Structure formats: structure tokens, C-alpha cells
């Protein structure tokens, strides 16, 4: 996945504009439109050309997504299939596997989830214990996954399973593309404190995955998983693009909606306010003014801290993207940026709730409940601020917790010694466990 030069990018964008003029039709269904977009290589331009992409870099890919939006067409599908599964399969899969899985992803026909974390394996992902045992041309899978984002909406899962417990933990894991719609896979949605259902627990009981759905070699899944995790950490192509109000896959039914209706429902580029960029603290500055707290020195200090942190996180993100576009990395910058974003979210949570006072505890779990709160107590409750405060815990956990980011910075950037008690060479079956 290389970066294109400015001239080459302009040529690609010209080609895209012509293509959009000839191809976009608001009367198409979402499925039919995504079919065209995906098969033309515009859904995930970061993928290589021989894997239904355009071999572009991050900045160029973002320019493609913005051009689609500027044209007034429905944006490309999104989700873990596009962000993680497709680039992983493009990197480690055989040409047959690329042809089998990637078209369904770039066209949004199938949705994917990530079956990595387990109740006993999160930060220490290599300690996972879901087992896959060979049975002829298939593997039989038993175990439990948790935190599975979109598990209840997924057609396929990126499964990590232990295929050899007698070697050190990183060396006995295999990466599979498993069918989620089979009797051996039970998905139990979890309701979070925000009121939404983002994750599920997934129970695998004699679930079957065929050997031709194995991505990479047997027992070499840690290497494949690291590709997936790298794309997760770098948020492949996601940052900066508006997400389409339609979800991929067979479960939601969104593919049969009229594409034009969804574009009409979203604020288009014309509706985007022009002029100077707003402060990352703008909404809380306005809330402080509404609550008559703009003169409170503690509130003012927190607002300034939030502005500075938000700006630092933004420019660090830009720096990271620029470095990637130039083909290199700034050591530790992704960890540092993630930590700053987590700090900004926590500060936003604390300040928002301080401004709302007791009304900050009023929260609706559904759209109707939230609308009811706003109309019953106008100007008192703010379901948006409370909702953001409740969701602020997510970022400091997923994609590597804050503590893990600090470990990375300590060991890989500052050169501090590794944690004591290294068990990486002990066979998985001999690792000490809780009783």
C-alpha cells in the first residue's frame, strides 16, 4: 500500500469525478451502489490494486472519501471488515482467499467482527485459550470471546484460536475467518451503561471452520494478528471521513434502503459551516455560558486545558498521518496520541458533568427517552453531554489500554527494562494459572 504523488492523486481524483458523474444514482439501493463503488476500487482505496483497492496512502484515501461526499453520493461502507479483515487478508491471504472474502467486504455485502479478546485474555492477548482442533479438512472450535463489537450484526468473524498449546503462547495461535451464522456460534449481546449495545459475548461450542478459511500458516496467527492490530491502531483510513448512515452486512437490512434517502438525511458539505475551525471545547464553552459559569475560574481553567489537549491530540494525529504518508513512523506517536485523546475525553466528561450538576445524572437509554428528557426539562438535562461522559471510558481501554500504551512508550521509546517475570518462552500448557 504505497502513497501516490500529488500529480498521480489529481489524476485519480479526476477519474473518480468522471466515474461518479457516470455512476452515482440516488435511486439505487445501498447494496447496488456499494456494489459499484467497491468493485471499482473506491470503497477502500488503501487496499492493493489486486485486492479491490487502489494502492493509495492514507491522505490520498481520505481525499477519495471526501470527493465522494462532495459529489453528494453515499459514502463507502465502513466497519471492521473494511478496516481490519480486508487489509489482513490482502496481506496474508492467498489469491483465492482475497477473491473469496474481499469483494463481499468492499461492497458491504458481509459484515465482520473481531473475535480476539477473551474473559482471560485482553491486554495479554497471546494468552487466549479458545481451542481449534483439526478434524480432516475442518477445525472444531471451542471457547468464549468477549467485547465483540458488532458481534450481533456480523456475518463473519476474525477468529484467533489456539491450535498448539505445547509451544510458547505466541507460537501456537492461528487466524481464521469463521462463519458467525452457524449453530456452534452463540452471540449474546451486552447492554452497556450508555444504554446501547455495542458488544457481545460470543460462545463457540463445536463451531466449525474449514481449513481453507485459515489465513496464514497454522500456528503463525500471532504474526497475522499483529497485522490486524496494526491496522486497528492506525485506524486505517477511518479518521476524518463522515460515516455513512447505513451499515454493511445481511443482518441490519440497510442494503435494501434507497441510497439517495440516506444522503438526503445527512448534513452535506454545503451545510458544513465555513470559517475558522471551532475549538474542541466549543460545545462546553457554550454550555458554560448557558449555565452562567463562564466567569468561574475553575471552569475557565478546565476549558482552556480541554482546548489545549484537544488541539494537541489533533495536531499529533495530523503529524502521524503526515509521517505515514511520507513512509515513516515517529516512534511512540500513536501511543502518545491515544493517551492524549483519552485524557481529553476524561476532562470533557468531568467538566461536562460539573457544568450540568445533578442534572448530569439524567440519561435516556433510547432516542424517545432522550427527547422526553430534553422536552420535560428544557435547558436542564443534556443527554448528549451525559452520553459522552458515559462513553468516555471506552477509548482508554480498546486498542490497548492506557497502561499498555505507557508500557510501550517506556520500553520501546524510552528504552526502560521490560517488566519482570517474562514467560514468553514457556509452553502455553505450562503457564501458571489461577485455580
Ligand X SMILES: Cc1cc2nc3c(=O)[nH]c(=O)nc-3n(C[C@H](O)[C@H](O)[C@H](O)COP(=O)(O)OP(=O)(O)OC[C@H]3O[C@@H](n4cnc5c(N)ncnc54)[C@H](O)[C@@H]3O)c2cc1C
Shortest gap between Cβ of 138 and ligand X (angstroms)?
23
Please provide the distance, in angstroms rounded to a whole number, between the alpha carbons at the two ends of the chain.
Answer: 46
Q: Which is nearer to ligand X, 22 or 422 (CB)?
A: 422
Q: Which is nearer to ligand X, 250 or 407 (CB)?
A: 407
Sequence-separated (6 or more) residues with CB below 8 Å from residue 390: 192, 193, 194, 363
Look at strands 112-115 and 156-162 and give their pairing. parallel
Q: What is the CA radius of gyration of the chain?
A: 23
411 labelled catalytic: no
Using CB atoms, what's the residue nearest to ligand X? 122
**In terms of Cα–Cα distance, which of 98, 105, 128, 300 is closest to 221?**
128
- Give me the residues paired with residue 179 across strands: 156
Q: Can you tell me whether residue 224 is helix, strand or coil?
A: helix
Shortest gap between Cβ of 159 and ligand X (angstroms)?
10
Q: Which is nearer to ligand X, 24 or 147 (CB)?
A: 147
Contact letters for ligand X, residues 143-182 (x by CB under 6 A): ----xxx---------------------------------
Chain-centroid distance of CA 426 in Å reads: 33
CB atoms within 10 A of CB 14: 11
Alpha-carbon torsion 368, 369, 373, 374, what sign? negative
Structure-block grid coordinates of residue 216: 496464514
Q: Which is nearer to ligand X, 144 or 149 (CB)?
A: 149
Shortest gap between Cβ of 9 and ligand X (angstroms)?
32
Q: Which is nearer to ligand X, 24 or 199 (CB)?
A: 199
Catalogue the E-assigned strands of 29-183.
Answer: 112-115, 131-135, 138-145, 156-162, 173-179
Q: Which is nearer to ligand X, 120 or 357 (CB)?
A: 120
Shortest gap between Cβ of 139 and ligand X (angstroms)?
19
Q: Which is nearer to ligand X, 113 or 207 (CB)?
A: 113
488503501: which residue's cell?
46
Shortest gap between Cβ of 392 and ligand X (angstroms)?
11
Total residues binding ligand X (CB under 6 A): 16
Shortest gap between Cβ of 252 and ligand X (angstroms)?
17
Interface positions, 100-119, toward ligand X (CB under 6 A): 113-114, 116-117
Shortest gap between Cβ of 197 and ligand X (angstroms)?
12
Interface positions, 389-428, toward ligand X (CB under 6 A): 394, 397-398, 401, 403-404, 407
Q: Which is nearer to ligand X, 29 or 252 (CB)?
A: 252
| Phi, psi (deg, nearest 5) at residue 145 | -115, 160
Structure-block grid coordinates of residue 294: 463562564
DSSP per-residue string spanning 380-414: T--HHHHHHHHHTTSTTTTTS-HHHHHHHIIIIIS
DSSP state of 193: T
Phi-psi region of 418 (alpha: psi -120 to 50; beta: other; left: phi over 0): beta
Active-site residue identified among 232, 311, 368, 411: 232
Binding residue for ligand X, selected from 75, 81, 122, 216, defined by CB under 6 A: 122
Chain-centroid distance of CA 227 in Å reads: 14
Sequence-separated (6 or more) residues with CB below 8 Å from residue 53: 1, 41, 44, 45, 46, 47, 90, 106
Q: Which residues are catalytic?
A: 232
Write out the residues near ligand X by the rule CB under 6 A.
Answer: 113-114, 116-117, 122-123, 147-149, 394, 397-398, 401, 403-404, 407
Amino acid at each position: 500500500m504505497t502513497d501516490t504523488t500529488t500529480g498521480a492523486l489529481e489524476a485519480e481524483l479526476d477519474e473518480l469525478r468522471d466515474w461518479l458523474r457516470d455512476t452515482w444514482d440516488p435511486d439505487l439501493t445501498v447494496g447496488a451502489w456499494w456494489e459499484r463503488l467497491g468493485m471499482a476500487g473506491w470503497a477502500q482505496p488503501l487496499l492493493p490494486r489486486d485486492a479491490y483497492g487502489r494502492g493509495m496512502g492514507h491522505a490520498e484515501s481520505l481525499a477519495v472519501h471526501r470527493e465522494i461526499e462532495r459529489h453528494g453520493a453515499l459514502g463507502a461502507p465502513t466497519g471492521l471488515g473494511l478496516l481490519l479483515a480486508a487489509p489482513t487478508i490482502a496481506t496474508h491471504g492467498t489469491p483465492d482467499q482475497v477473491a473469496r472474502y474481499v469483494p463481499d467486504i468492499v461492497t458491504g455485502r458481509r459484515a465482520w467482527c473481531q473475535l480476539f479478546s477473551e474473559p482471560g485474555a485482553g491486554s495479554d492477548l497471546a494468552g487466549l485459550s479458545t481451542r481449534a482442533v483439526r478434524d480432516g479438512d475442518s477445525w472444531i472450535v471451542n471457547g468464549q470471546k468477549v467485547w465483540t463489537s458488532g458481534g450481533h450484526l456480523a456475518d463473519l468473524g476474525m477468529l484467533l484460536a489456539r491450535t498448539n498449546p505445547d509451544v510458547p503462547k505466541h507460537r501456537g495461535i492461528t487466524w481464521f475467518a469463521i462463519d458467525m451464522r452457524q449453530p456452534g456460534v452463540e452471540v449474546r449481546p451486552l447492554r452497556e451503561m450508555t444504554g446501547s449495545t455495542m458488544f457481545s459475548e460470543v460462545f463457540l461450542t463445536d463451531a466449525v471452520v474449514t481449513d481453507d478459511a485459515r489465513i496464514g500458516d497454522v500456528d503463525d496467527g500471532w504474526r497475522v494478528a499483529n497485522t490486524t492490530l496494526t491496522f486497528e491502531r492506525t485506524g486505517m483510513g477511518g479518521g476524518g471521513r463522515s460515516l455513512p448512515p447505513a451499515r454493511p452486512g445481511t443482518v441490519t437490512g440497510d442494503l435494501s434502503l434507497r441510497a439517495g434517502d440516506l444522503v438526503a438525511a445527512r448534513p452535506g458539505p454545503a451545510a458544513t459551516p465555513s470559517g475558522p475551525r471551532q475549538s474542541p471545547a466549543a460545545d462546553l464553552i457554550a454550555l458554560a455560558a448557558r449555565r452562567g459559569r463562564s466567569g468561574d475560574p475553575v471552569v475557565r481553567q478546565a476549558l482552556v486545558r480541554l482546548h489545549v489537549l484537544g488541539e494537541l491530540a489533533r495536531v499529533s494525529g495530523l503529524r502521524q498521518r503526515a509521517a505515514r504518508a511520507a513512509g515513516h513512523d515517529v516512534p511512540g506517536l500513536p501511543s502518545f496520541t491515544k493517551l492524549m485523546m483519552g485524557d481529553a475525553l476524561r476532562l470533557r466528561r468531568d467538566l461536562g458533568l460539573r457544568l450540568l450538576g445533578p442534572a448530569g445524572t439524567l440519561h435516556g437509554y433510547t432516542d424517545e427517552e432522550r427527547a422526553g428528557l430534553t422536552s420535560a426539562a428544557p435547558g436542564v438535562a443534556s443527554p448528549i453531554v451525559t452520553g459522552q461522559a458515559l462513553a468516555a471510558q471506552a477509548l482508554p481501554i480498546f486498542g490497548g489500554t492506557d497502561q499498555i500504551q505507557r508500557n510501550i512508550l517506556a520500553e520501546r521509546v524510552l528504552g526502560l527494562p521490560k517488566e519482570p517475570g517474562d514467560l514468553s518462552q514457556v509452553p502455553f500448557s505450562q503457564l501458571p494459572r489461577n485455580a
